[in-house]
């Protein structure tokens, strides 16, 4: 009993420390953003101009670049993640092939993002440039589409691993009951496994989205680093993370530096809001499943 109380006390203490750390990060970003907030006000969030010379800074192009690349990457990667999860969770739970695929997925998630960036520059950029030439659009090669492809590859392991683990936790009794009623393997997966695991599937998507929103180096190398509002999916652009990585060390002037810090604050808030909404949906889904 004493060990259980001690363990609970440790968990509570760790939770409080993490909460204080999160609050400290938010307050430090907010404090550093005050000069920008005072100078630019609400215009910072909807302005399209980013000009350090005239001290005019707007976050709209970078906010759009971040959301577009992240959600498109999620849409591209989800079918592959789900397919891998179903295969490893239902068709190939054990064996050499299963072990090889699981190890490969773990290795993909462990590859540094700068390596993905180099791979994108060497392989993806020429391929995208050829596509753009066939479509009669400016053959930049770099841009939102290229960054989206890189992100989609990078986030697959995160969602695939979580979804696979959730699928493996589906009770065998439910599947055997469906088989006894004459259901096929496809029908069991569609009508039993996926509905039961939908909260875990959404959790995998949420984790992948968080990974995509904050990705910096790989995106910086292939997105084109253009501070203007993108006009198409093939246009060069910038995300909030890539902008901070490119310009933070070169920021001269109080407002310029503060604007970059406010950009970090905006990224923090966007990520927090998406995670809160995701957690709420997961909790609602779990409650409905229990009922």
List the chain pLDDT tens, one digit each, 291 residues: 566 777 777 888 888 888 898 889 889 999 988 988 888 888 888 888 888 888 888 889 999 999 999 999 989 988 888 888 888 888 877 777 878 888 888 888 788 888 998 999 999 999 999 998 988 888 888 889 999 999 998 888 888 888 888 888 888 888 888 888 888 888 888 888 888 888 778 877 887 888 888 888 888 889 988 888 888 888 899 999 888 888 888 878 888 889 999 999 998 988 888 878 777 776 665 545 555
The closest alpha carbon to 247, from 213, 276, 220, 272, belongs to: 220
**Domains in the chain: boundaries:** 2-290
In the numeric block, the tokens 């939770």 are attached to 15
- The answer to whether the beta carbons of residues 144 and 70 sit under 8 Å apart is no
In CATH, the architecture of 2-290 is Orthogonal Bundle (1.10)
Sequence-ordered list of residues with C-beta below 8 angstroms from that of 55, at least 6 positions apart, any chain: 39, 253, 255, 256
pLDDT for res 284: 66
Contacts with 238 (C-beta within 8 Å, 6 or more apart), sequence order: 61, 62, 65, 223, 224, 225, 226, 227, 246
List, in sequence order, every residue forming a beta bridge with 51; answer none if it has no partner: 56
Q: Where are the beta strands (DSSP E) in the chain?
A: 50-51, 56-57
How much is the pTM?
0.85
Provide the 3-class DSSP secondary structure of residue 185: helix
Using CB atoms within 10 Å of the CB of residue 57, give its burial: 0 to 12 exposed, 13 to 18 middle, 19+ buried: buried
Return the pLDDT at 40. Answer: 85
Q: Distance (Å, rounded) from C-alpha 275 to C-alpha 282?
A: 10
Beta bridge partners of 59: none
Q: What angle do CA 178, 182, 183 make, to 5 degrees?
A: 55
pLDDT of residue 163: 84
């Amino acid at each position: 009993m004493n060990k259980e109380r001690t363990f609970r006390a440790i968990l509570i203490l760790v939770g409080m420390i993490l909460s204080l750390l999160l609050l400290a990060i938010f307050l430090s970003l907010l404090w550093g953003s005050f000069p920008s907030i005072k100078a630019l006000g609400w215009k910072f969030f909807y302005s399209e101009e980013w000009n350090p010379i005239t001290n005019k800074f707007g976050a709209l192009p970078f906010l759009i670049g971040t959301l577009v690349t992240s959600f498109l990457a999620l849409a591209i990667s989800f079918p592959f993640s789900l397919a891998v999860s179903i295969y490893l969770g239902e068709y190939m739970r054990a064996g050499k092939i299963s072990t090889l695929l699981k190890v490969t997925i773990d290795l993909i998630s462990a590859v540094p993002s700068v390596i993905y960036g180099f791979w994108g520059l060497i392989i993806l950029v020429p391929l995208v440039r050829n596509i753009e030439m066939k479509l009669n659009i400016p053959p930049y090669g770099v841009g939102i589409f290229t960054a989206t492809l890189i992100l989609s590859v990078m986030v697959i392991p995160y969602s695939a691993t979580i979804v696979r683990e959730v699928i493996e936790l589906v009770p065998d009794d439910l599947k055997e009951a469906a088989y006894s009623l004459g259901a096929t393997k496809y029908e069991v997966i569609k009508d039993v496994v996926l509905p039961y695991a939908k909260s875990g599937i959404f959790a995998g998507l949420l984790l992948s989205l968080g990974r995509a929103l904050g990705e910096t180096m790989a995106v910086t190398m292939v997105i084109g680093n253009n501070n203007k509002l993108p006009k198409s999916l093939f246009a060069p652009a910038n995300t909030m993370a890539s902008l901070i990585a490119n310009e933070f060390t070169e920021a001269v002037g109080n407002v310029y530096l503060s604007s970059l810090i406010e950009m970090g604050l905006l990224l923090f808030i966007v990520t927090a809001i998406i995670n809160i909404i995701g957690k709420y949906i997961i909790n609602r889904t779990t409650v409905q499943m229990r009922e």
